[in-house]
Amino acid sequence: MGKAYYCTHCKAQLNVGNDIIFTVKNNKKNAGLLLVSPQVGDYSVKKDTLFEIEKGEHLEIICPVCHQNLHEGKVHENLAKVIMKDESGHESELYFSEIFGERCTYKITDKKLEKYGDDSMNYNFWGSEFDY
Ligand SMILES: [Zn+2]
């Protein structure tokens, strides 16, 4: 089986089938569901057309199980975080942008950083702490 994704707060698993499920709030504070590909570096998302999100909106990304915000403001005001476990149970931290349409993901495993996405140069939060 593939990778699994977990809430940093309640540790609930967030992926079902071929999607990771997030509750999100848009700029108008309307809440809805967003389905995100579990493939790191694949930025296809699914949402209902009636739930309007503009490209560039700063979303609140919320765990659908415990309703806590996945925001990781210590690192950057635009980034959220989930835990990823691979097939062998090895954990990574996955940081991704809360800006709708921005393509960047940072995977940190044992202080080793991997960057994904066309916009991954937008954030430079890791300094010299990580090897990459
Ligand atoms: Zn949770």
Residue 102 lies in a domain: yes
| Ligand 1: centre distance to CA 67 (Å) | 6
Contacts 24+ apart (CB under 8 A), 38-41: 38/2, 38/3, 38/5, 40/84, 40/94, 40/105, 40/107, 40/116, 41/105, 41/116, 41/117
| Ligand 1: centre distance to CA 25 (Å) | 16
Between CA 28 and CA 45 the distance in angstroms is: 20
Residue type, 18: N
**Nearest-5° angle of CA 63, CA 90, CA 77?**
40
Residue 33 lies in a domain: yes
Residue 32 lies in a domain: yes
Among all chains, which residue has been given the structure tokens 């940093």? 8
In the chain, the percentage of residues whose pLDDT exceeds 90 is: 83
Residue 131 lies in a domain: no
**For strand 19-25 and strand 31-36, is the pairing parallel, antiparallel, or unpaired?**
antiparallel
| Ligand 1: centre distance to CA 83 (Å) | 11
| Ligand 1: centre distance to CA 102 (Å) | 23
pLDDT tens digits, residue range 49-71? 999 999 999 999 999 999 999 99
| Ligand 1: centre distance to CA 99 (Å) | 20
**Mean pLDDT in residue range 66-89:** 94
| Ligand 1: centre distance to CA 27 (Å) | 22
Between CA 96 and CA 119 the distance in angstroms is: 11
Residue 11 lies in a domain: yes
Rg of the chain (C-alpha set): 14
pLDDT tens digits, residue range 86-117? 999 999 999 999 999 999 999 999 989 999 99
In the structure, what pLDDT confidence band is assigned to residue 132 with cuts at 50, 70 and 90?
very low
pLDDT tens digits, residue range 8-45? 999 999 999 999 999 999 999 999 999 999 999 999 99
| Ligand 1: centre distance to CA 128 (Å) | 30
Residue 115 lies in a domain: yes
Which SS3 state, helix, strand or coil, does residue 128 take?
coil
Top-confidence residue, 126 or 118: 118
Instruction: Give the domain range for residue 56.
Output: 4-122
Q: What does the pLDDT read at residue 130? A: 56
Number of structural domains (the chain) is 1
Residue 13 lies in a domain: yes
Residue 73 lies in a domain: yes
| Ligand 1: centre distance to CA 9 (Å) | 5
| Ligand 1: centre distance to CA 115 (Å) | 25
Question: In this structure, what token pair is assigned to residue 24?
Answer: 């999100």
